[in-house]
Amino acid sequence: MSELRADVLVLGAGMVGVSAALHLQQRGRDVILVDKHDLAGEETSYGNAGIVECASVFPYMFPRDVAEIMRYAANRAPQARYQLADLPFFLPWLVRYYLASAPDRALRGAMAVLPLIRRSLIEHELLIAEAGVPDLLRRTGWIKLFRSDRSLAGTLREFERAKRYGVEGCVLDAAGIAQREPSLSGAFAGAIHFSAPGFVPDPGGLAKAYAALFARKGGRLFKTDAGTLQQVRDGWRVGGRGQAALAREAVVALGPWSDLVFRRLGYFIPLGVKRGYHLHLNARGNAVLNHPVLDSDLGYLLAPMNRGIRLTTGVEFARRDRPPTPVQLEQALPRAHKLFPLGEAVDAKPWMGARPCLPDMLPVIGKAPRHAGLWFDFGHQHHGLTLGPVSGRLLAEMMTGETPLADPAPFAAGRFD
């Protein structure tokens, strides 16, 4: 049996894991990146809206409006859907999500993650420059459309609040929308153009570019089942009888699959998933989409990816490994065709992925409380692409004894004890 040795094993080659591996590597650690795929960025990191959301001060919290909650409960809201058969499974998590979304608790969480949000685009720009892929970042921002005066007014109040924390953007009327996106059709009450966020037209490709940088700097990718991780006398071991990897320390960065490791080690961390779907379509004729555009009242987003126009859905609450049920995508398709001149589908079938979420919508970043040399970096909810590099830096600073760029206490695994 052959055995690879390193300083650190990073489990998971998505955006979060690759970023952590790079930051540890920058600090002199020999790192092995562990994944079940041959390439990085093949799972959750592949399927998102591509927005580096440095303007998202407030996380996606459970709604407090009774009428809105009733719409969700009746499965009539396009922004979220649930599978009735799985309700007993995820209802306790939803209760915790609701409690954590109380205004005072939500504000504390937002302020805790704000230093990471503010630094998120900067950390991406540094890695993109080092990886030599400037074409994978566009500084276009994104546009949030509103079809009703009520939804526009509610978001304008949130926007005014967010501006106090440095969020930039401008309110658009019909003429402003048409100027920025002349190919869109429909009657809109208005829109907000968030100008600061970056846009990545190939999120999976960016994860692969970061992994290629990691390899050029001497990093190794080891294909195996990360669920085989076990503590041994010299540290942590992963792999089977034919080949294994051993290191003093290990980082669990498996996104929605992180529970396959931490539960076996005796940790109860309430990790849930929000599933989502996307489909790429061609644009008809000479139609062009210049920004990611969220049709907020109808619960879908269009993004101009390299592969085509990516149509993404709201969230689906269901067991992580249930077969796909792309009802939201089927409902969104005719609405999206009315908004933008879409052509034939590029993909043979819709893609489905899972967003790893904790009830307070904050990630777990830091030391495992009861195991020497074990670290966590998962649960980045809707912002894995956004927060991957900056949370990787925070984790690497903690692991190497540097002064962390933000207070790590709110992200500690022990907050759920």
Q: Considering all CA atoms of the chain, what is the largest pairwise distance in Å, rounded to the nearest integer?
A: 67
- Same structural domain for residues 229 and 142? no
On the question of pLDDT at 409 being above 80, the answer is: yes
Asked if 28 and 160 sit in the same domain, the reply is no
Q: Quick one: 233 and 374 in the same domain?
A: yes
Are 208 and 218 members of one domain?
A: yes
Which residues span the domain enclosing 27?
2-47+204-270+360-416
Q: Is residue 348 pLDDT above 90, yes or no? A: yes
Q: Taking residues 369-375, report their average pLDDT.
A: 97
Among 337, 357, 377, residue at a domain's last position: 357
Query: What does the pLDDT read at residue 217?
Result: 97
Tokens representing 5 are 């040795």
- Residues 281, 266 share a domain: no
Q: Which residue has the tokens 């002199």?
A: 28
- Final residue in a domain of this structure, among 357, 377, 408: 357
- Write down the pLDDT at residue 92: 94
Mean pLDDT of 292-315: 97
357, 384, 406 — which closes off a domain?
Answer: 357
Same domain, 342 and 248: no
Q: For residue 6, is it within any domain?
A: yes
Confidence of residue 402 (pLDDT cuts 50, 70, 90): very high
CATH of the domain at 300: 3.30.9.10
| 224 and 179 assigned to the same domain | no
- CB neighbours of 235 closer than 8 A, spacing ≥ 6? 246, 247, 248, 249, 250, 373
Is residue 250 predicted with pLDDT exceeding 70?
yes
Q: Is the pLDDT of residue 327 over 90?
A: yes
Q: Average pLDDT of 73-77?
A: 86
Please check the confidence at residue 363 and state whether its pLDDT lies above 90. yes
% of the chain with per-residue pLDDT over 70: 100
Spatial distance between the Cα atoms of 223 and 239, rounded to a whole number of angstroms: 9
pLDDT at 212 over 80: yes
Contact 93, 361 (CB under 8 A): no
Please check whether residue 160 lies inside any domain of the structure. Answer: yes
Alpha-carbon separation of residue 319 from 77, 84, 127, 354 (angstroms): 20, 11, 34, 10
Strand ranges inside 233-345, DSSP E = 235-239, 243-252, 272-283, 293-295, 300-305, 308-312, 315-317, 342-345
Q: Is the pLDDT of residue 78 over 90?
A: no
Q: Please tell me whether residue 407 adopts helix, strand or coil conformation.
A: coil
Q: What pLDDT score does 330 carry?
A: 95
User: Is residue 349 exposed (0-12), middle (13-18) or buried (19+ Cβ within 10 Å)?
Assistant: exposed
383 and 289 belong to one structural domain: no
Cβ atoms 38, 407 nearer than 8 A = no
For the stretch 91-135, pLDDT in tens is 999 999 999 999 999 999 999 999 999 999 999 999 999 999 999
In a domain, 193, yes or no: yes
Q: What is the pLDDT of residues 147-189, one digit of tens each?
A: 999 999 989 999 999 899 999 999 999 999 999 999 999 999 9
pLDDT over 90, % of the chain: 88
Residue at 114 is within a domain: no
Cα 11 to Cα 24: distance, rounded to the nearest angstrom: 13
- The CATH number that applies at residue 390 is 3.50.50.60
Contact between 40 and 195 (Cβ < 8 Å): no
1 pLDDT band (50/70/90 cuts)? low
Which of 77-86, 135-144, 226-235 is least confident? 77-86
Q: What is the pLDDT of residue 160?
A: 92
Q: How many domains does the chain have?
A: 2
Is residue 284 predicted with pLDDT exceeding 80? yes
Residues 173 and 97 in one domain: yes
Is 17 a residue whose pLDDT tops 80? yes
pTM, full prediction: 0.96
pLDDT reading at 25 higher than 90: yes
Contact by Cβ (8 Å): 211, 33: yes
| Stretch among 160-164, 234-238, 266-270 having the lowest mean pLDDT | 160-164
Residue 120 in domain: no
Indicate whether 177 and 283 sit together in one domain: yes
Q: How confident is the model at residue 291 (pLDDT cuts 50, 70, 90)?
A: very high
On average, the pLDDT of the chain sits at: 95
What's the pLDDT score for residue 63? 83
Judged against a pLDDT cut of 80, whether residue 140 lies above it is answered with yes
pLDDT of 146 > 80? The answer is yes
Question: Domain for residue 31, yes or no?
Answer: yes
Residue 130 covered by a domain: no
Judge if 350 and 304 occupy the same domain.
Answer: yes
Tell me, yes or no, whether 254 and 293 share the same domain: no
**Domain assignment present for 112:** no
Burial of 401 (0-12, 13-18, 19+ CB in 10 A): exposed
